[in-house]
Amino acid sequence: MEFKLVSKDILELSGQALVVGVYETDELGIFAKKIDDNMNALLSDFLKDIHFKAKEAQCVFMPGHKGIKFKDVIIVGLGKKEELKVDIIRKAAKAAIDKAKEIFHNEIYFEPLGYEILGEKSIEALVDGVVIGDYKFKKYKKDKEDNTTEISNINIVSDETALESVINRAYIISQAANFTRDIVNEPGNVITPKKLVDIAQEISKDYGLKCKVFDHPILLDRQMSGILAVGSGSENPPFFIHLTYKPQNPKKRIVIIGKGVTFDSGGLDIKPPKSMKTMKCDKAGACVVLGILKAVSQLKLDIEIHGLIPTVENMPSGKSFRPDDILVFKNGKSVEILNTDAEGRLILADALIYGSELNPDIMIDIATLTGASMVALGRFCSAIFTQNHNLSHTITKLGSETGEKFWPLPLDKDLEEEIKGEFSDIKNVGSSYGGAITAALFLKEFVGENIKDWIHLDIAGPTFLEKPWKYYSEGATATPLRTILNWLTTL
């Protein structure tokens, strides 16, 4: 798919399909009004005749007529003008490309939907809606499911030449999201810890990154007890990946950690079959880190970024770690294992210790960590934990613009008692209450005292969809990649 900014007058252009927006109460957008005037009110009459309400993402098409040089005009609803938000643009763009494919068009011209109200954010959202909305993981389907046309060219019509850089940036970020979704959607028999290593090395080679990989001997030498323990039950060995993007004069140093459990059976505390079904998505945090590092090298950000991925497969066998085991980590903390299905926090502990040694300005970890976060916030919202309220507010606000929702939960010191160990410093699970919080408090034990700002994102809810939602198909969403990349561009 190729995006292009076209700066000609809409009435001089010709092509297969033109997408224009309409608001509720019969209010045509700027482009729709211009076309309607040139067609002697044929467009507005058509919409009245079919009782088009212009609800959000409602979509119809009208064959082109004298006064316009496009074969078809696709009209998409934008809802109430005074309530227009960027996520509505994404849904509208998704609806428009679906309609274009349905009527066999592979080249589409878009007016900049909502630009007169939302400015550049509407352009970013339009690109998001097209790229993310056109994604579906079909690699293993013999019948590719539909015979609709594949979109090849998207033209955005505007005389604002500065929008070209906005389009390019949004396309890089959206493509990184789809790259991430591809890896998350791959099953556990395809993506093993070693395969994540291979992908990281490929990205490193293709995008000029540095890549260090720690195998079993180095993990032992580095005292990465959590990774070694969780990975001990699988025939697929564990690894630790360190990707680095470093420009000449970086403004800041950021560490981003992603949980990379390529499949989580629960270990000896094995999950029931229903809970195990989607556990290929337990590597989502790691895949997001890979997508972020790929994108930042293309965006050429002036920030030093370290992507850290502890990657394991959590399986039951005679070599598995057990309930009642006690692990001692490099920072001296001892941890009693009460449940082998609370494994993500153990491998993240090693990464947090290592990340702290890099002395970053900000350290962030991304993990499908707890079902408790879903109990608290539902399936579509990630939990954010940090003691920096400004950072929490910034990411939450950016998430409202990218369509990736976050809600702050407290690092409640009163719950620290829940994870105090009887035979060790701490244990890896607390009681049945406040599980997302006690998991975050566990991680906090491994954040170095030198770290001023640390953010923990529990993405268990929105990371994987069992049915389509908004502009997403079923499967991986790449949450929170677009929010984090947008945040990095502001630093």
SS3 at position 243: strand
Which amino acid type is present at position 97? Answer: I
Neighbouring C-beta atoms of residue 150, cutoff 10 Å? 9
Summarize the confidence of residues 71-79 as an average pLDDT.
96
Predicted pLDDT at 485: 98
Residue 18 scores a pLDDT above 80: yes
Burial tier of 295 (Cβ tally within 10 Å: 0-12, 13-18, 19+) = buried
Split into its structural domains, the chain has a count of 2
162 CB-near residues (< 8 Å, 6+ apart):
none
Q: Give yes or no for residue 163 having a pLDDT over 90.
A: yes
Q: Are residues 288 and 425 in the same domain?
A: yes
Identify whether residues 184 and 269 lie together within a single domain: yes
**Is 163 a member of any domain?**
no
Measured distance CA(257)–CA(348) in Å, rounded: 8
Is residue 134 domain-shared with residue 262, that is, in the same domain? no
pTM of the model: 0.96
Which domain-ending residue is among 157, 183, 211?
A: 157
The pLDDT value given to residue 149: 78
Is the model's pLDDT at 150 over the cut of 90? no
Among the listed residues 169, 345, 405, 427, the single catalytic one is 345
**38 occurs within a structural domain:** yes
Q: Measure the CA–CA gap between 123 and 118, rounded to whole angstroms.
A: 9
| Same domain, yes or no: 227 and 363 | yes
Q: Would you state the pLDDT for residue 146?
A: 56
Residue 318 makes CB contacts below 8 A (sequence gap 6+) with none
Annotated catalytic, 345? yes
pLDDT band at residue 29 using 50, 70 and 90 as cut-offs = confident
Identify the domain boundary among 157, 187, 205. Answer: 157
Residue 437 lies in a domain: yes
pLDDT band with cut points at 50, 70 and 90 for residue 64 = confident
- In this predicted structure, the answer to whether residue 120 has a pLDDT above a threshold of 90 is yes
Task: Find the CATH number of the domain harbouring 254.
Answer: 3.40.630.10
- Report which secondary-structure segment, H or E, holds 288: helix 284-299
Residue pair 225/312 in contact (Cβ under 8 Å)? The answer is no
Are residues 115 and 246 both part of a single domain? no
**What is the average pLDDT value for the chain, to the nearest integer?**
95
CA dist., res. 228 & res. 365, Å (int)? 19
The span from the CA of 473 to the CA of 485, in Å, is 22
Q: Mean of the pLDDT values across residues 400-429?
A: 97
pLDDT bin (cut points 50, 70, 90) of residue 25 is: confident
What are the φ and ψ backbone dihedral angles of 273, each rounded to 5 degrees? -50, -40
Residue 148 pLDDT level (bands cut at 50, 70, 90): low
**Is residue 144 predicted with pLDDT exceeding 80?**
no
State the pLDDT at residue 211.
98
**Helix H or strand E encompassing 19:** strand 14-23
Query: Is residue 87 one of the residues assigned to a domain?
Result: yes
Q: Is residue 164 part of a domain?
A: no
Residue 444 has pLDDT above 80, yes or no: yes
98 and 67 housed in the same domain: yes
pLDDT at 162 over 80: yes
pLDDT digits (tens, 9 = 90+) for 286-333: 999 999 999 999 999 999 999 999 999 999 999 999 999 999 999 999
Q: Looking at the structure, tell me whether residues 138 and 214 fall in a common domain.
A: no
DSSP structure string for 367-420: E---HHHHHHH-TTEEEEEES-HHHHHHHHHHHHHHT-EEEE----GGGGGGGB
Exposure on the CB side of residue 447, measured as CA atoms within 13 A: 22
| Statement to judge: residues 250 and 344 lie in one domain | yes
Q: Write the pLDDT tens digit of every residue in 323-373.
A: 999 999 999 999 999 999 999 999 999 999 999 999 999 999 999 999 999
- Is residue 165 a part of any domain in this protein? no
Quick one: pLDDT at residue 30?
87
Asked, for residue 36, whether it belongs to a domain, the answer is: yes
Q: What is the CATH number of the domain that holds 21?
A: 3.40.220.10
pLDDT of residue 276: 94
pLDDT at 24 over 60: yes
Query: Which domain, by its residues, includes 484?
Result: 173-488
In a domain, 167, yes or no: no
Domain end (from 157, 191, 207): 157
Judge if 220 and 89 occupy the same domain. no
Give, to the nearest 10 degrees, the angle between helix 284-299 and helix 193-207: 0
- Closest residue by Cα to residue 29 from 112, 129, 98, 135: 112
Considering only 58-72, 175-189, 233-247, 315-329, which range has the smallest mean pLDDT?
Answer: 58-72
Q: Are residues 144 and 282 in the same domain?
A: no
Q: Which helix (H) or strand (E) holds 262?
A: strand 260-264
φ, ψ (nearest 5 deg) of residue 242 = -125, 105
Catalytic residue among 33, 222, 253, 271: 271
108 and 201 inside one domain: no
DSSP 142-176: SS-S--PPPP-EEEEE-S-TTHHHHHHHHHHHHHH
Looking at residue 65, what is its pLDDT? 81
What's the average model confidence in pLDDT over 80-100?
Answer: 96
Quick one: 132 and 191 in the same domain? Answer: no
Angle between helical axes of 120-133 and 86-102 (0-180°, round to 10): 40
pLDDT at 145 over 60: no
pLDDT at 43: 93
Lowest mean pLDDT among 22-26, 70-74, 162-166: 22-26
Q: Could you tell me the CA-to-CA distances from 234 to 183, 217, 227, 262 in Å, in that order?
A: 20, 16, 12, 11
Residue type present at position 377? L
- Strand, coil or helix: 481: helix
